[in-house]
Amino acid sequence: MSFTPTVLVGPSGVGKGTVLASLCARFPNVWLSVSVTTRHPRPGEMNGQHYYFVSEEEFDNLVESDGLLEWARYQSARYGTPRAEIEQKVAEGRAVIMEVETQGALQIMARLDKVRTIFLMPPSLAELESRLRGRGTESDESIKLRLQIAKHEMSLMDEFDHIIVNSEVAVAVDELVNLIGLSTGEQLD
């Protein structure tokens, strides 16, 4: 079976990681791209599993060598999607999901002929703020900036093929399963 690569976008704190973890628990053959970033790891994050943590110089080399399918600056760090891994997994017939920021998604849409784009929305800005505060990893200033960025990102949601409101994780996962075209035959029993 052949799958169209999927890009999942949404504001910081909307629950992209939670939705994707639940999806992958049900469908272990889904492959999530691992982004490179110049930011420092958060507690519990592992290099190569959550992100590839690289220096500014290493990131520059990837950009110059066309080694990234997309890249963007978000706050003070840069993030990108390694091109070779995506191409390899698509060629293998795997369901590929790229979790990227809005800027990166727009680059992918311009560079790939065939890609499915999904915007994951919070139920409200108040709920998004609550989720960000619940992390316990952000300063008030950082949360205010993330909410400002989220408002801008949400103004672009009509650029994407589909919108899923993440009010309840299980429902959002079911919608994602349907959009990707995963079948119960691929599901973990």
List pLDDT tens digits, range 17-41.
999 999 999 999 999 999 999 999 9
Which one, of 113, 95, 114, 103, lies nearest residue 159 by Cα? 103
Digit-coded pLDDT (tens) for 79-109: 999 998 998 999 999 999 999 888 889 999 9
Q: pLDDT-derived band of residue 185, with 50, 70 and 90 as boundaries?
A: low
Decide: residue 5, CB within 10 A, 0-12 exposed, 13-18 middle, 19+ buried: buried
Task: Name the pairing type of β-strands 31-32 and 162-165.
Answer: unpaired
Handedness of CA 174, 119, 145, 108 (dihedral sign): positive
Q: Residue 189 — very low, low, confident or very high, per pLDDT cuts 50/70/90?
A: very low
Better-scored residue on pLDDT, 53 or 127: 53
Residues of the chain above pLDDT 90, percent: 69
Average pLDDT over residues 166-176: 96
> Sheet containing 68-74: which strands, arranged edge to edge?
52-53, 36-37, 77-82, 68-74
Q: How far is CA 23 from CA 44, 95, 135, in A?
A: 21, 12, 21
Residue 188: its pLDDT value, please? Answer: 43
DSSP SS3 for 185: helix
Residue-range domains of the chain with CATH? 6-182 (3.40.50.300)
The confidence score (pLDDT) of residue 63 equals: 95
Query: Treating both helix axes as pointing N-terminal to C-terminal, what angle do 125-135 and 140-155 enclose, rounded to 10 degrees?
Result: 140
